[in-house]
């Protein structure tokens, strides 16, 4: 999986190479004007070892980088690099094949090593080129522990070869136009060199050359270096006769030694040029150090390129980081949950308080208006009674006189009701049922009443209750 440091680590990326001879640190920022080298730190390995610990960053003058995420780069001589083709294009199949290759490519057991690989398109149809990187687990843990104790957060462990190859691929490390064919690259550090042959960006050959800037002061040292490069080229030609190497590009301190380029060109009889790009930005910083010809190509490429693929972080470290990250997430979730619960509780308490205050105000308002309410209620009842009486039709006096004339002394009326349809309902009591029948007959004989009916009769011990209905003659006033 390709890794873009600017995406994984942010706008500012710090890459560190904790080497056996030099401690190298670069800080690169991506801005509107492109990539910029902000900081370069070089320290001797023995000086770094004496300063190791929690005060390390303060001791070397960069306390502002405490807690900063970094890319750790292992130097080429610390790892084993193997290049081979696999007959597949399926990443899962390739992963299984690489697992089988591990036992053949290293004498160590699986528990003693950490490995990862880059994939390239092979020259062979249906094949994939694999660059396998193997390192001892103890070495990675040692470097990781040193950086962690110093106050850094290691987010990725790669190798300088992966760094400068990714830099070439992303063109942050530039190569002058050369003749066609495969190109040999020689990254010159203080005591060693990283030599590789690439064809259209695909590595076909890799080797460590144990000669560096310290041994290249004069023509004798350059000639010896040319001999080693020549032997490496001869080995490659024997292994891959179909591909010719026509030019050599010098990176690292080799790019700062024009005389070396000219000498190698004369000895090797091939085009020799120097790399440019982000490396040249760091030259001014390097001039301030007694650097003895160190190379920053690997760390600069790792900090600026978008194609890192090798991650040599041990599984135990990744598991620990995963557990710690998960614990921080759970802690954050717990704190957030408690905050939400507290906020909801506060809202509930506030709402209850507001309701209590509102209820008290309502009670005070009711208490203050209770007297007026009682007065209005009494007036309303009186008004309703008057309205009911005003709506009732008055019974004509002649009807009352007629009822009086037909009613015997044993009969008494309790209510007389006259409806809008001129329907008269008489309710009352009589001594006997016979008296009620006499009243009905008497009312039927009267010219004022018609359709006289006894609608209800109920007898008890003392009296008989009755209800008689009839219609009044419309001609009656």
pLDDT digits (tens, 9 = 90+) for 118-148: 888 887 888 999 999 999 999 999 999 999 9
- Per-residue pLDDT at 304: 87
pLDDT in tens, 405-437: 888 888 888 888 887 667 889 999 998 888 899
21 plus 155 within the same structural domain? yes
Q: H helices of 392-456, where?
A: 397-406, 433-445
Check pLDDT > 70 for residue 450.
yes
Taking the C-alpha atoms of residue 463 and residue 433, their distance in angstroms, rounded to an integer, is: 9
Matching residue, tokens 């190798």: 159
180-233 confidence digits (pLDDT tens): 678 999 999 988 999 999 988 889 999 999 888 888 777 788 889 999 999 999
H or E stretch including 342?
A: helix 315-391
- Whether residue 286 is contained in a domain is answered as yes
Summary mean pLDDT of the chain? 84
Rounded CA-CA distance 439/445 in Å is: 10
SS3 for 58? helix
* Reported confidence tier of residue 387, pLDDT bands at 50, 70, 90: low
Query: 348: Cβ–Cβ under 8 A, 6 or more apart, which residues?
Result: none
59, part of any domain: yes
Q: Is residue 401 part of a domain?
A: yes
Residue 469 CA to chain centroid, in angstroms? 88
How many Cα atoms sit within 13 Å of 63 on the Cβ side? 4
- Does residue 291 have a pLDDT over 80? no
Smallest CA-to-CA distance from 160 within 208, 113, 95 is with 208
pLDDT interval class at 336 (50, 70, 90)? confident
The pLDDT assigned to 420 comes to 67
Is residue 392 pLDDT above 50, yes or no? Answer: no
Please check whether residues 241 and 258 belong to one and the same domain: yes
Q: What residues contact 212, with CB distance under 8 A and at least 6 apart?
A: 188, 189, 190, 191, 192, 193, 253, 293
| Domain presence at residue 202 | yes
Question: How many whole angstroms separate alpha carbon 115 and alpha carbon 136?
Answer: 9
Residue 221 neighbours by CB distance under 10 Å: 17
Of residues 442 and 256, more confidently modeled: 442
User: How does residue 476 score in pLDDT terms, banded at 50, 70 and 90?
Assistant: very low
- Output the six-digit token pair for 201: 């960006």
C-alpha torsion 323→328→334→336, nearest 10 = -150
Considering the domain architecture, whether residues 335 and 284 belong to the same structural domain is answered as: no
**Alpha helical stretches, state H, 282-314:** 283-286, 297-304
Structural domain count, the chain: 4
26 & 95 share domain: yes
Residue of higher predicted confidence among 25 and 378: 25
From 308, 301, 304, 211, select the one nearest 260 (Cα to Cα).
Answer: 211
Q: Are residues 381 and 405 in the same domain?
A: no
CA 119/CA 83 separation, integer angstroms: 10
Residue 240 exposure: Cα atoms within 13 Å on the Cβ side: 19
Neighbours of 121 (CB within 10 A): 12
Q: 239 is in which domain, residue-wise?
A: 176-274
For the question of whether the overall pTM of this predicted structure is more than 0.75, the answer is no
Q: How far apart are CA 344 and CA 352, in angstroms?
A: 12
Helix (H) or strand (E) holding 78: none
The answer for residues whose C-beta is within 8 angstroms of residue 45's C-beta and 6 or more apart is: 19, 20, 21, 22, 23
The Cα–Cα gap between 151 and 155 comes to 13
Token look-up 């080298």 returns 37
State residue 73's pLDDT score. 94
Q: CATH number, domain at 445?
A: 3.30.1360.100
pLDDT tens column, 314-326 = 876 655 555 555 6
In a shared domain, residues 110 and 159 = yes
- What does the pLDDT read at residue 135? 92
Q: What's the pLDDT tens digit per position in 30-50?
A: 888 888 888 999 998 898 888
User: Are residues 349 and 425 part of one domain?
Assistant: no
- Distance, in Å, from the CA atom of 300 to the CA atom of 297, rounded to the nearest integer, reads 5
pLDDT of residue 385: 59
Looking at the structure, do residues 157 and 303 belong to the same domain, yes or no? yes
Domain membership of residue 98 (yes or no) is: yes
- We report the CATH number of the domain holding residue 206 as 3.30.420.40
Q: How far apart are CA 264 and CA 228, in angstroms?
A: 11
Task: Assess whether pLDDT exceeds 80 at residue 255.
Answer: no
Residue 385 within a domain: yes
Checking if the pLDDT of 298 tops 50, the result is: yes
- Whether 320 maps to a domain, the answer reads no
Share of the chain above pLDDT 90, in %: 21
| Residue 179 clears pLDDT 70, i.e. is over it | no
* Residue 148 and residue 47 in one domain: yes
Same domain? For 137 and 69 the reply is: yes
Whether 285 is covered by a domain: the verdict is yes
Question: Are residues 131 and 84 both part of a single domain?
Answer: yes
Q: Do 247 and 353 share a domain, yes or no?
A: no
Q: What is residue 103's predicted lDDT score, i.e. its pLDDT?
A: 78
Closest of 312, 319, 358, 294 to residue 118, by C-alpha: 312
Q: Select the highest-mean-pLDDT range: 56-60, 180-184, 287-291.
A: 56-60
Interval 354-380: pLDDT, tens: 888 888 888 888 877 777 777 787 777
Is residue 10 helix, strand or coil? coil
């Amino acid at each position: 999986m390709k890794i873009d440091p600017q995406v994984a680590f942010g706008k500012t990326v710090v890459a560190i190479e904790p080497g056996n001879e030099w401690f190298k640190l670069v800080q690169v920022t991506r801005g509107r004007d492109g990539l910029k080298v902000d900081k370069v730190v070089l320290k001797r390995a023995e000086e770094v070892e004496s300063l190791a610990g929690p005060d390390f960053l303060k001791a070397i003058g960069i306390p502002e980088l405490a807690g900063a995420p970094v890319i750790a780069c292992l130097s080429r001589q610390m790892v084993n690099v193997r290049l081979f083709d696999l007959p597949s294009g399926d990443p899962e199949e390739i992963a299984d094949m690489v697992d089988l290759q591990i036992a053949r490519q290293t004498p160590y057991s699986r528990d003693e090593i950490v490995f990862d690989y880059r994939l390239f398109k092979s020259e062979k149809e249906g094949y994939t080129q694999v660059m396998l990187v193997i390192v001892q687990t103890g070495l990675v843990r040692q470097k990781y522990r040193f950086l962690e104790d110093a106050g850094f957060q290691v987010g990725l462990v790669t190798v300088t070869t992966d760094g400068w190859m990714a830099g070439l691929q992303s063109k942050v490390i530039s190569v002058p136009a050369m003749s066609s064919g495969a190109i040999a690259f020689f990254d010159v550090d203080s005591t060693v060199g990283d030599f590789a042959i690439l064809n259209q960006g695909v590595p076909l050959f890799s080797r460590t050359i144990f000669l560096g800037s310290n041994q290249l002061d004069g023509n004798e040292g350059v000639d010896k270096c040319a001999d080693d490069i020549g032997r490496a080229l001869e080995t490659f030609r024997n292994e891959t006769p179909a591909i010719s190497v026509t030019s050599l590009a010098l990176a690292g301190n080799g790019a700062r030694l024009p005389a070396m380029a000219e000498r190698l060109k004369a000895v090797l009889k091939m085009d020799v040029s120097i790399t440019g790009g982000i490396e040249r930005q760091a030259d001014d910083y390097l001039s301030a150090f007694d650097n003895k010809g160190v190379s920053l190509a690997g760390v600069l490429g790792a900090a600026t390129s978008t194609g890192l693929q090798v991650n040599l972080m041990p599984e135990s470290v990744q598991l620990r980081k995963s557990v710690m990250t998960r614990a921080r997430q759970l802690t954050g979730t717990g704190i957030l949950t408690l905050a939400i619960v507290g906020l909801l509780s506060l809202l509930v308490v506030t709402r209850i308080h507001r309701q209590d205050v509102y209820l008290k105000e309502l009670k005070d308002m009711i208490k203050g208006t209770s007297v007026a309410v009682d007065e209005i209620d009494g007036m309303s009842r009186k008004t309703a009674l008057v309205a009911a009486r005003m709506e009732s039709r008055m019974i004509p006096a002649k009807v009352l006189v007629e009822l009086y004339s037909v009613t015997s002394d044993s009969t008494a009326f309790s209510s007389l009701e006259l409806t809008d349809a001129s329907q008269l309902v008489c309710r009352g009591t009589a001594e006997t049922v016979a008296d009620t029948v006499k009243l009905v007959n008497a009312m039927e004989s009267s010219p004022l009443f018609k359709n006289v009916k006894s609608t209800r009769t109920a007898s008890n011990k003392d009296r008989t209750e009755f209800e008689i209905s009839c219609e009044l003659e419309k001609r009656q006033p």
